[in-house]
Amino acid sequence: MNREQAREKAKALVAQMTVEEAASQLRFDAPAVERLGVPAYNWWNEALHGVARAGVATSYPQAIGMAAAFDTELVEALGDISATEGRAKYNAYTAEGDRDIYKGLTFWSPNINIFRDPRWGRGHETYGEDPFLTSEMGKAYVRGLQGDGETMKSAACAKHFAVHSGPEGERHRFNAVVTPKDMEETYLPAFEALVKEAKVESVMGAYNRTNGEPCCGHSVLMEEILRGKWGFEGHFTSDCWAIADFHLYHHVTDTPEESAALAIKNGCDVNCGNTYLYMMKAYEKGLVTEEQIRTSAIRLFTTRYMLGIMEGSEYDNISYDKVECDEHIQKAHEATLKSCVLLKNDGLLPLNADEIKTLGVIGPNANSRAALVGNYHGTSSRYITICEGLQDAFEGKAHVLFSEGSHLWRDKVENLGMNDDRIAEAVTVAKRSDVVVLCVGLDETLEGEQGDTGNSDASGDKVNLLLPASQRRLMDAVLAVGKPTVICLIAGSSIDLGDAADKANAVMLAWYPGARGGKAVAELLLGKASPSGKLPLTFYRNEQLDEMPAFTDYSMKGRTYRYFEGEPLYPFGFGLTYGDVAVKNASAARCECGCWKITAEVENAGKVCTQDVVQVYVQNEGSPNATTNPRLCAFKRVDCPAGETVKVELCVYDKQLLVVNEAGERVEEGKPVFFVGMGQPDQLTEKLTGHKAVRVEL
């Protein structure tokens, strides 16, 4: 049913409730109202990259890997998989009377915060550092989750609103100070796009304050912008226990009752936490009105009616057989193939299996399940590590030797051993191998959310961009053997491999590739498919952290590819393939639909068929308010047959040609110029790819 029909049903239902009953429905764990036939419902569920925390589900690459695919159709399909499996689980679990946490149809995904600082531990939950890419990926995932049927398939949630990206250790008391320009240009575009274009059903507030107001009780963000300027009609939820922060850490209120009142007055409908247990006390003290309580309850029941969980829907017959079915596993496999980024290749890749008699697979992430899944993940019925993927691929063809090589971050693997107690084994394996695949990196215990990681000193954030010292010593020892070596980096953020990247023959970034991701990584290394992922964030040199603003400084000056003035380690938008793809010619023409149509001729001069990503950047030359460097405004993944040229069309809408002034206004200014290529129009991309982006003037 449409929103208006659902709202009328919700109004009629809530009108029959007492004030206390209506207030009880604002908790994330809303109890049943048995006299009205209303079942209990838990609003808290997760589907960041597959349904999480409720048992078995299809697992695909972490969100940052999904972004690296630069493929909105793929991301929408992955969202639909989450919705389908979420429905299958909901149908099965409710039939057994199970309405527990993580069992509902309201998914608190996607995370569309901007990965503005490479130290942030939760950056791998996002779609990277660029507002446009984040908007496009976020919209696609929301479309997949919510569907286009008469009933909403599941409810998506855009989080964390707004201006939130670390540091993790200070998030409960931190005040993010941001200018109107940065707000409009960087921090709000993705949220606006998901609300106005994808019609996301829910928005979640952040823990921190923004410009002095707590984000889950923010008059400007929630009332003036979200519901006022953007016309948001869905429901708003707090981050978990964020409303308690109002009085405990932000000190903008003195009591739980005052915190509950501040939140609901500004439109926070669901409390993830326990502060709304004080709602009736706040009501009795005159801090909140009956109308405010009922308004929030109506919004929440509107969502429940739109989901069809009050009266039934066409999705009630989705069978549990859809969970981790072959079709979904294959789509996750495709996602991993498209997400991996080839950062370096001197010709060693793809590996020639016929010439390899012994393959050495070394490293703490080579046979690690934790390194596959990132955070906010479900359970897989099968895990395929990179070591296992290579063992399967080489079965009957070559001997695969394995060594853990080092602990992920400790100085030793065995407590009673000496420091570096696995390096002798790693060197032994390397010496006996024709080729070495060296698997290093991080996992969710080293980068992640505060409280969810073992990285307690930094609360989940990184203190620098280097791998732990144990892994650096391992890389030095293995590379000193001198065998042809591929470094396979498993991580969710910018990592500086130092000299190891120079010494290795190839570097493949696999992100957190999903529970069975090792199979896809093996296929890429062996050339069963060509790498085609692109970096959705800038990779910096570790020493360049000193050039960046403080982690707590939310100014965009010197941050991300749009404003960074130095030469990074690897640029945003970069990624090699086994082909040799370049844009040879491009033009722009006004389209009847009101956009600029970019036509590009894309040639693959190589001998290997591949996919690649055409990228369009725009710069407003002469504008004092333009970003320092050209900014992404369109992209399209394309098939590039070997030795052939294909024609590609992309659309750039007029809004993308505007610049944002210091007052936060979008204005026409300067001369818009397009750059069309397989990456940024910067010198480093040209150096790494051997190709220059084509300049197109309007």
Q: CA 457, CA 463: separation in Å to the nearest integer?
A: 9
Exposed e or buried b per residue across 277-298, where buried means at least 16 C-beta atoms within 10 angstroms of its C-beta: ebbbebbeeebbeeebbbbbbb
d(CA 259, CA 25): 18
| Catalytic residue of the set 239, 443, 612, 682 | 239
Tally Cβ neighbours within 10 Å of residue 171: 23
CA 488 from chain center: how many Å?
20
Secondary structure of 82-142 as H, E, C letters = HHHHHHHHHHHHHHCCCCCCCCCCEECCCECCCCCCCCCCCHHHCCCCCHHHHHHHHHHHH
Q: Which residues contact 502 (CB under 8 A, 6 or more apart)?
A: none
DSSP, res 549: P
Is residue 435 classed as helix, strand or coil in its secondary structure?
strand
Contact 498, 466 (CB under 8 A): yes
∠ at Cα 176 (172, 182), nearest 5°? 150
| Collapsed DSSP state (helix, strand, coil) of residue 684 | helix
Closest CA to 509 of 536, 530, 539, 489: 489
Residue holding tokens 């940024």? Answer: 680
Q: Please indicate whether residue 502 is annotated as part of the active site.
A: no
657 with 634: CB under 8 angstroms?
no
Longest C-alpha distance within the chain, in Å? Answer: 79
DSSP letter at 570 equals B
Please check whether residue 631 is in contact with residue 659, taking contact to mean a CB–CB distance below 8 angstroms: no
Closest to 577 (Cα-Cα) out of 538, 600, 607: 607
* Residue numbers annotated as active site: 239
